[in-house]
Amino acid sequence: MGIEQAANEKGRQSARGLRKSAAKDERKVEAQKGSDLAKGADRFEERSKSSDGKSAGEKQGLSREKQGT
């Protein structure tokens, strides 16, 4: 839920706190990793890889061109 969509002030404060906490965690992980985390579609692809390093599309034999990316 977005901050502006919260029903009351307590909800908006909670949403702001969650957003700040997530940003802090992301900066911490990026610092440990030594580079920025992927964003958008690249982030989805990075997170969707299984332990063998292949994404679902790669396992099905789909190339990036066929996937539309």
Q: Which residues contact 11 (CB under 8 A, 6 or more apart)?
A: 1
pLDDT of residue 58: 74
Q: What distances in angstroms separate CA 7 from CA 11, 17, 21, 48, one per listed residue?
A: 6, 16, 21, 33
SS3 19: helix
In tens, the pLDDT along 36-67 reads 877 877 777 777 776 677 776 777 776 555 55
Q: What is the pTM of this model?
A: 0.51
pLDDT of residue 24: 93
Q: Is the per-residue pLDDT at 3 higher than 80? A: no
